[in-house]
Amino acid sequence: AQTVTQSQPEMSVQEAETVTLSCTYDTSESDYYLFWYKQPPSRQMILVIRQEAYKQQNATENRFSVNFQKAAKSFSLKISDSQLGDAAMYFCAYRVNNNAGNMLTFGGGTRLMVKP
């Protein structure tokens, strides 16, 4: 069974600084997707960034980038120039790429606090 682990229950960053959130996963599959979702206090799940396992290049979306280490099964999220609006729960998620459906396996989450 696939598992996703986020070892940092809480992280704190100063506004305008950079922070990295950790995620590791366990799978025997070779073709899969990894995601980072943001959950603000409104509880809405918002997709931050996505990485295909077959791509060696790390995904980037504006201030958000990932460090994908396939051999180490590590998928960290880097937030640059942190803003107050980045404060939220962040969830790492995994999905195998097959025809069985879009079921995601989520980590336990990291609460990010941004200090002004």
Cβ closest to other proteins, residue 14 vs residue 44: 44
- CA distances to 14, 46, 47, 112 from 95, in Å: 32, 16, 14, 24
Cβ closest to other proteins, residue 18 vs residue 75: 75
Burial pattern 4-13, b for ≥16 Cβ within 10 A else e, equals: bebebeebeb
Report which residue type is found at 15.
Answer: E
Cβ closest to other proteins, residue 23 vs residue 114: 23
Q: How far is the CB of 69 from other proteins (least distance, A)?
A: 21
Binding to other proteins, residues 28-87 (CB under 8 A): 33, 35, 37, 42-45, 47, 50, 52
